[in-house]
Amino acid sequence: DPAPVLRSATAFAPATVANLGPGFDFLGCAVSGLGDTVIASIDPAVPPGTLAISSVSRLSHDPLWNCAGIAGIAAMRMLRIRSVGLSVSLQKGLPLGSGLGSSAASAAAAAAAINALFGAPLSPSDLVLCGLESEAKVSGYHADNVGPAILGGFVLIRRYDPLDLIRLEFPSDRDLFFVLVSPEFEAPTKKMRATLPSDITMKDHVYNSSQAAALVAAVVRGDARVLGSAMASDTIVEPRRAPLIPGMAAVKMAAERAGAFGCTISGAGPTAVAVIDDEEKGKEIGKRMVEAFFKAGGLMASVKVARLDRVGARVI
């Protein structure tokens, strides 16, 4: 039962783009400028060894049904906290059901903040396991959001049992921008996962595997053009999910016509993500994608041009 080294700690965890097209459930990356913040505090009003949610909007205050609460309890269990009670305040910077790793950001920030309270003895892999407990309850046991939310950058999940994560380094001297266009439409992850095929052809398996391999090669080589092309080449998951997002096919076409290297669905959607190597060009691509969501899908949408977040969850 370690003694706390702080009375309060604040952590931020970034938004994430999961799947990246053909990398369903095993590839993801963190993006800058968006995310969730959690303040964890030693709270004498909370029974020792337990956790309470002190502040959150639009979400449950029950820690057993709140992403931050589930991951926080997992971190306390891993740390063997018994002598003090904790409270957490969750400040949502990400919309719910957006396809930008909203649940993972809450879980990652909570685990990181609680770890910091006790001197940060848990490793990043430990924190991912804490976040996975939350993900398993709310959206499925997959680390392609919570992995990059904690580690930052691009993350490959090599296997889940035992958990084996490989952080992929995109060269720091290369430019990479993500055009994130989020329509006013909610796509719950569980609903979007229910659309997935139970069987696939060998042809689709081979093609998607080659595209995922090309994507990984493009990341480590810093080749944004090949990265975008591979990201846009999923033949298994995107074809099932895109029809459920009004206007998605037109948005993808608009992005690529405007010069994007590739476009796909971010996570389970409905956010569309395009890749480019120039920020100003990204803004123009974003405008065309917003227009397409409105014209083809009847949806208003917002756009954010973001860089790769190379840090992941951190104390602020």
What is the set of active-site residues?
135, 189
Residue 116 host element (H or E): helix 102-117
Task: Kindly state the tokens that stand for 313.
Answer: 């969850």
Count CB-CB contacts under 10 A for residue 55.
Answer: 11
Rg over alpha carbons for the chain, rounded to the nearest Å, is: 19
Helix 102-117, helix 67-79: angle, nearest 10: 30
Nearest residue to 237 via CA among 212, 213, 210, 265 = 265
Q: Check if the beta carbon of residue 218 is closer than 8 Å to that of residue 224.
A: yes
> d(Cα 143, Cα 276) in Å, to the nearest integer?
25
Q: Which residues contact 170 (CB under 8 A, 6 or more apart)?
A: 153, 154, 176, 219, 220, 222, 308
DSSP state of 242: G
Let me know how long the chain is.
Answer: 316
Torsion of CA 12, 268, 288, 177, to 10 degrees: 40
